[in-house]
Every structure is written in C-alpha cells, then in structure tokens.
With several copies, the nearest count.
Chain A
Amino acid sequence: MWQNILEFLQSTGFAAFGNSSMMVFGVIPGELIMIVVACVLLYLGIAKKFEPLLLVPIAFGMLLVNLPLGGVMAAPLGDTPGGLVYYLYQGVKLGIYPPLIFMGVGAMTDFGPLIANPRSLLLGAAAQIGIFITFLGATALGFDLKSAASIGIIGGADGPTAIFVTSKLNRDLLPAIAIAAYSYMALVPIIQPPIMKLLTTKKERMVVMDQLRDVSKTEKILFPIVVTIACGLLLPSAVPLLGALMLGNLFRETGVTARLSDTSQNALMNILTIFLGVSVGATAAAERFLQIETLKIIALGLVAFAIGTASGVLFGKIMYRTSGGKVNPLIGSAGVSAVPMAARVSQVVGQKENPGNYLLMHAMGPNVAGVIGSAIAAGVMLSFLG
C-alpha cells in the first residue's frame, strides 16, 4: 500500500515538474514559467482590459496546458479518448472557427461609412503595407516564408484572420501570434498617436471633412454580395474569410434575417470565441513558446502595426493633397482595422487639435476597409504559401 501511495504522489503535477522536458537554469521547470506568463496575461486581460474576451480564454488555455499531466491537449490513443481541449482545438486546426467568428464580425459591422465614401478603401489598402514589409523583415531575420507570412498578418490587426492564416501555415506559432495580435489591438491607442502626430502637420490634422451621404438599404444589401463575387473571383483563397464576413453582413442588412444575424454575433460567436481562445492558448506548451522566436514575433508584430499606421497616414496625406485639402490624413491610421478602436483614435487625435471636429464616421470607412484589406492580404499569403 505505501508503494501505491508513493506512486500516487509521483503522479501529482508537483512531482512532474521534476521531470519537465525544459528546465530553466537547470532548476525552474518551463511549465512553471508558463503558468506565470498565463497569470500575467490574465492580469492584462482582466485588470488592464486588453481584449479580455480573447485574452482571458487564451491565458486560461495556456494555464491548463501547462499544468503537468493534466492532459487537456492529449491526443486520443487507441480506445482512450483525447483531452477536452484536443477536441476543441480541431476547429482551429481545420480552419472552422475563424471564418465563423468572422461571420459574427460581419453581422456586427456597418459598412455604411465605407459605401458612402468609397475612397476609404484606398486607405484600407495602404495600411496593409505593414503586413508585407513585416513579412520582408521577418524573412530577413531568418524566419521561413510560412512563418514570416503568419507574422506579417499580425499587422492586419484582425485576430481571426491572423489565427486562420497561422493555422494554415505554421501552427507552432499560434499562441505567440494570437497574443501579439490581440495585445496590439488593445494597445492601438498607445501605439498609433505618436506616429500620427509625427507624420502630419497641425494644419492637416485640423481638416474638417464633409458630411457623409446617406446610404440606402439596397446599397447595404448589395455590398456584401458584390464584394464576395468580385474579391472571390480575383482571389479564391480569400473566399472562406471574406465570404463568411460578407454572409454575416448580409444577415445583418437584409431586414428579414434578423434571427440569423443575432445568433451569428451572439450565441454562436461567444461559443466559438471560448473554444478558439482556450484551444489557441493550449498550443502554448512551454518548450514551444519559451523560444527566442516568440520575442521576435512580438517585436515584429509591433513593427507591423507601426508601419501599417504610418503607411495609412502617409496615404492619407496623398489624398489630402489630391483632394485639395478635403481629406484629413488622420483617418488613414484607421485603415489597420482594429475596429472601432483605430477609428476612435483618429477621432480623439483630431479633436485635440480642433475640438469641434468629428472624424469618427469618416474614420470608420478606412477602418472597416482594413478588415477587407487584411482578409485579401491573407488570401494572397495562403495562395502563395498555403
């Protein structure tokens, strides 16, 4: 009996720490470090409100998978079923959750400001340059093409897009890229303003833009259909993400599918967000996450955001010139997406120079265009490398 008790003690997680495959300084098990990292992420998500709806599940998944012998990610073995998160993870691995979450995003998004001002699309395109420059930079730093593409997409500022691309190109990077993407999306009000001020003159920032025209219901209904067909024909690999986004938006706009729109953006989206977050977090096993690459990814993600912001603002300056001073270049930074945070940043920065200036709706155009833009950029990456 005492031997049995001893064996039982051997089976605790404390004992398992001793057999950890990754001993830091020869003493600290990697899993313990990961538990601390998970707690920090929980702190950022809960106390600092960094995208809590994603960071809390991601951090908790990270916590669960690093409790030694917990087996939540264990693959099935013969007749023994796998762990809970192993099964939830299949929806990430097979590329099911991100498009369905995008459907919910579509059901939440009003493309009206974009339809009212189609030139916004150019700003949404410009801000994706950060994706490709970061892709270049990452290859220069030694990442292979697939990893570099996954890293670049962080600059698209869309969690589901980044996770979808990474799940297709290099699943090992999932936790680092998801954490970087969601953290920087939360940090947009910190990252963007200095860049915006550096690149614009006071005069430019004070531009008051004309009011947007009304958009008819017909246009709003046609928009998702036209985008799906046009972009789907141009770039077939963007169909899963863009098609789902536009289907959700169609549910929203028809006026006769309110039930479907409601469920897409509530019950279904919340269920998938929990499953996605926990299972992405659970890919962060110590020996995979505690790599120098993780830091590089986090640094490159910041670069991607900064370059995206800058190229959006610079393109805004071009439009300021070509329009004869009618476009406020501050709305360019909203092109990175991070809806609607980036648009609010444009609003706040603009209002500081000119308290009566309301740029929010003008910035929503590039903002939602950035969602389409990064989905297309994702399609390009998948088309070349998928």
Chain B
Amino acid sequence: MDVWTITIVGVGTVFLALVGLSLMLGMFKRLFHGRKDSAPSAATAEAPRPAPARAADGTLVAVISAAIAAATGGQPGSFRVVSVQASGGFSTPVWGHIDRLTRTGSGR
C-alpha cells in the first residue's frame, strides 16, 4: 500500500466526512431551529403527563411488520395484528424498568 495513497485518501476522507456532516447539520438548522422542543425536559419527568405512549402503541408493530413484510416478500397485511387500543386517561409516564423500581418507595 502506497504511503501517498493513504495520505491523500486519508485527508480526503476526513474532509469528505466532516464536510458531509457539516451539510447535514446545516439542514438541522432549517428543520429544527425555532421549533419548540418536542421532548419534554427531564426535570418534569416526575410530573403527570397525558398518555405519552398512546400515539405510539401501534408504531412498533406497524414498522416491524412493514419491514419484515418487505424483507420476506409478502405484504404488510398478510400477517394482521389487531391494533392495541389505548385506554386513555393515564397520567402515569412510561418509566424504564430500572427507573420504575427506583422511584417507588422500594428504591433507597
């Protein structure tokens, strides 16, 4: 392997990658700047919030279905999963397994 090739390809790749990232970040500004943050801050995690999981209940199944359907050549509908109905009215946020334990009286 030629030392000059490595040098040229190396410098080129570093610039290519970082210029590419720079362009992507330029798009970030257009897409997200000025928009209000969608993710609520951690400080308010303890406070009741309206059913954060409701909108997402079917997302996982839908996406994985579509992906697998595509992958295996079938159609998304060929393996039907009845959508889970949101029960509504939950003010309990969806904690992580560990967090959940921590925040009850059981955690020290």
Contacts and interface: CB of A to CB of B under 8 A. Distances in A.
Given A148-B3, A230-B20, A213 B29 contact: yes
Contacts of A104: 98
A48 B56 contact: yes
Contacts of B86: 190
Contacts of B22: 118-119, 121-122
B14 A125 contact: yes
A262 B99 CA distance: 14
A267 interface: no
A108 B70 contact: no
Contact of A352 (B36, B89, B95, B97): B89
Interface string B3-30: 1111111110111111111111110110
B67 A36 contact: yes
A222 B32 CA distance: 10
Given A128-B11, A230-B20, A50 B94 contact: yes
Interface string A151-185: 00000000100000000000000000001001101
A307 interface: no
Contacts of B4: 1, 136
A299 B105 CA distance: 33
Interface in A328-347: 339-341, 344-345
B90 A50 contact: no
A227 B18 CA distance: 10
Given A108-B98, A125-B19, A384-B1, A217 B37 contact: yes
A312 B85 CA distance: 20
A292 B74 contact: yes
Q: Which of B89, B96, B105 has the most CB of A within 10 A?
A: B96
B42 A256 contact: yes
B97 A53 contact: yes
A247 B40 CA distance: 21
Given A125-B19, A235-B17, A132 B11 contact: yes
A118 to B, nearest CB: 4
Q: Which of B14, B36, B39, B91 has the most CB of A within 10 A?
A: B14
A373 interface: yes
Given A121-B19, A252-B108, A376-B14, A51 B96 contact: yes
Interface stretch (A23-31, A72-80, A86-94): A23-31
Interface in A209-235: 213-214, 216-219, 221-223, 226-227, 230-231, 234-235
Contacts of A298: 60-61, 64, 81
A244 interface: no
A279 B54 CA distance: 29
A197 to B, nearest CB: 8
Nearest to B65: A295
B59 to A, nearest CB: 6
A234 B64 contact: no
Contacts of A354: none
B89 to A, nearest CB: 7
Nearest to A176: B64
A51 B53 CA distance: 11
B44 to A, nearest CB: 10
16 contacts: A24-B70, A24-B71, A40-B60, A43-B59, A54-B96, A54-B97, A110-B104, A110-B105, A121-B21, A121-B25, A122-B22, A125-B15, A218-B37, A223-B28, A256-B42, A364-B106
Give me the 4 closest cross-chain CB pairs, A-B, nearest first: A290-B71, A118-B25, A53-B96, A110-B106
Given A216-B37, A295-B79, A302-B81, 12 more contacts: A43-B59, A50-B53, A50-B94, A53-B99, A108-B108, A115-B25, A125-B14, A132-B10, A216-B33, A218-B39, A298-B64, A348-B92
